[in-house]
Amino acid sequence: MATDAFAEARKRMVEEQLKARGIRDQRVLRAMEAVPRHLFVRPEDQEWAYADGPLPIGYGQTISQPYIVARMTELLGLKGDEKVLEIGTGSGYQAAILAHLAREVHTVERIPELVEMARQRLAKLGLTNVHVHHGDGTLGWPEAAPYDAILVTAAAPKVPEPLLEQLAEGGRLVAPVGSRGLQYLERWTREGQTFHRERFEPVAFVPLIGSYGWDLEDLLAE
Ligand code: SAM
């Protein structure tokens, strides 16, 4: 377990924000206690890195609230041998959590500056099983498909079709789906050509922008 200056704050975050709210997957709890979240926020925000909320990461984007990261990760039900796709790399924090819990992680981000920063952070932590790609994640990342688990960390008007196509048999996809202001966490599980959908709690994410997401021009005109 890491023993940096923030180790105590991280322990408290796990106890008070995650365990207390019902996160039970021990592997998820251990990963949340191990990954130094303060290295994924702007230097001026480090003192808030373990607070109970999202934080700005520049370019109008956010690093999600720790509880939401843990909750969505838990919904994927990772055991350790999976190939995972994340859409919306942002700071790279969620990808680092996934890297602790799966065999191989591919993560796609549309903003080049965030891609570069996430690559540097993940490399510094020695997380060599994460591959950060630049592109429109609503198209997935066909080069490494199929995926045992897919996590979308931006709000989608509906689950992008290419992501469902890139899901392996028995695979799970978790995404916030709904309107611009309010979405519900959904989990889609693949059984052949059939997809079972479950709905969980309401959330509020920044928009998923792309061919199978929200249109950038429409958002700018709002
Ligand atoms: N998972 C991130 C983390 O741990 O910091 C937080 C993700 S942030 C809430 C949403 C991210 O999705 C933003 O960085 C945004 O640029 C990105 N995004 C939005 N639309 C995208 C798309 N079509 N493809 C890839 N990334 C996208």
Peptide bond into 146 cis (omega under 30): yes
Q: In what order do the strands lie in the sheet with 167-178?
A: 130-134, 104-109, 83-87, 147-152, 167-178, 183-191, 194-203
| AA identity, residue 17 | Q
* Closest CA to ligand 1's atom 15: 88
First to last CA, the chain: 46
Residue 37, ligand 1, Cβ within 6 A: no
- Residue 69 CA: nearest ligand 1 atom is 4
Residue 211 a catalytic site member: no
Q: What structural domains does the chain harbor?
A: 2-221 (3.40.50.150)
Q: pLDDT tens across 39-68, in order?
A: 999 999 999 999 999 999 999 999 999 999
Question: What is the model's pLDDT at position 221?
Answer: 83
CA–CA dist 102, 125 (Å, integer): 16
Indicate whether this model's pTM tops 0.85.
yes
Pocket test for ligand 1, best of 85, 94, 110 (most atoms within 8 A of CB): 110
Residue 209, ligand 1, Cβ within 6 A: yes
Q: pLDDT tens across 170-193, in order?
A: 999 999 999 999 999 999 999 999
Query: 137: which 2 tokens?
Result: 């994640």
CA–CA dist 90, 92 (Å, integer): 6
What counts of helices (H) and strands (E) characterise the chain?
7, 9
